[in-house]
Amino acid sequence: AAGVIQSPRHLIKEKRETATLKCYPIPRHDTVYWYQQGPGQDPQFLISFYEKMQSDKGSIPDRFSAQQFSDYHSELNMSSLELGDSALYFCASSPMDRGYRNTIYFGEGSWLTVV
Amino acid sequence: SQQGEEDPQALSIQEGENATMNCSYKTSINNLQWYRQNSGRGLVHLILIRSNEREKHSGRLRVTLDTSKKSSSLLITASRAADTASYFCATVLTSGTYKYIFGTGTRLKVLA
């Protein structure tokens, strides 16, 4: 079965640079979520999209932005990177019919290291 | 953690023993999901229990939900070394939100 695809899997950036992470949800899933997980931490909710519209916002820094495109893939853009942004970034998706009631499936994550 | 708290934070058991992990939350929820995460890997969905359900089983997993106590437990029976991982609960509120909140997780170590 198709899973959530994230790219790149690993990314190394310098401070103050910009990074873009991509997420391809499971086909026919209409809700996408982004999470950030620091070393030894629990996943922190950043933002979600339902039918290409932002649906919820969590602890996402103003330096970060995200969007969901017409083909339902999503991108997380991170600018002015800081050392503290080094983390594992997860994308997840859930199927149609009011996503919040359904199982959410996670990708393998994108490792971002800021040096 | 914003919503869920799990205990214990770390658990070490022998292979074949049962492991129980607990999750507590603060506000009314629509459903609660349990996930497993191997170090540095993605979150693997284990089981979803809805607010109107009290218990669910899946293989060696048993999840209970007590909405009056705002708590859930995950029982892994006859544990195996391959069960070594971190286990998280995630909750979503009853209001129209698309925001799942994760607990702090329990790090389970199963010794062979």
Closest CA in chain B for residue A108: B42
Average pLDDT, rounded, for chain A? 92
* Across A28-35, average pLDDT: 91
A16 burial type by CB count under 10 A (0-12 exposed, 13-18 middle, 19+ buried): exposed
Residue A31 reports pLDDT greater than 80: yes
Return the pLDDT at A22. Answer: 98
Return the pLDDT at B95. Answer: 65
Does B99 sit within 8 Å of A58, measured CB to CB? yes
* Across A60-81, average pLDDT: 96
Using the Cβ of A70 and the Cβ atoms of chain B, whether some distance falls under 8 Å is answered with: no
Using the Cβ of A7 and the Cβ atoms of chain B, whether some distance falls under 8 Å is answered with: no
CA distance B67 to B69: 5
Of B111, B100, B49, B40, give the one whose Cα is nearest residue A44: B100
Angle at B80 between CA B79 and CA B81, to 5 degrees: 130
Per-residue pLDDT of A93-115, as tens digits, reads: 988 665 456 788 999 999 999 99
Return the pLDDT at A77. Answer: 98
Distance from CA of A10 to the nearest CA of B (A): 12
Does A101 sit within 8 Å of B99, measured CB to CB? no
pLDDT band at residue A8 using 50, 70 and 90 as cut-offs: very high
Distance from CA of B15 to the nearest CA of A (A): 24
Does B100 sit within 8 Å of A106, measured CB to CB? no
Using the Cβ of A99 and the Cβ atoms of chain B, whether some distance falls under 8 Å is answered with: yes
The residue ranking higher by pLDDT, A1 or A56, is A56
Does A103 sit within 8 Å of B103, measured CB to CB? no
Q: Please give the C-alpha separations between residue A105 and each of A44, B42, B47, B48, B109, in angstroms, as whole numbers.
A: 15, 10, 11, 12, 24
CA distance B61 to A111: 30
Residue B2 reports pLDDT greater than 50: no
Residue B4 reports pLDDT greater than 80: no
Per-residue pLDDT of B19-55, as tens digits, reads: 999 999 988 888 899 999 998 888 999 999 999 999 9
Return the pLDDT at A99. Answer: 47
Distance from CA of A57 to the nearest CA of B (A): 8
Return the pLDDT at A92. Answer: 94
Angle at A37 between CA A34 and CA A40, to 5 degrees: 165
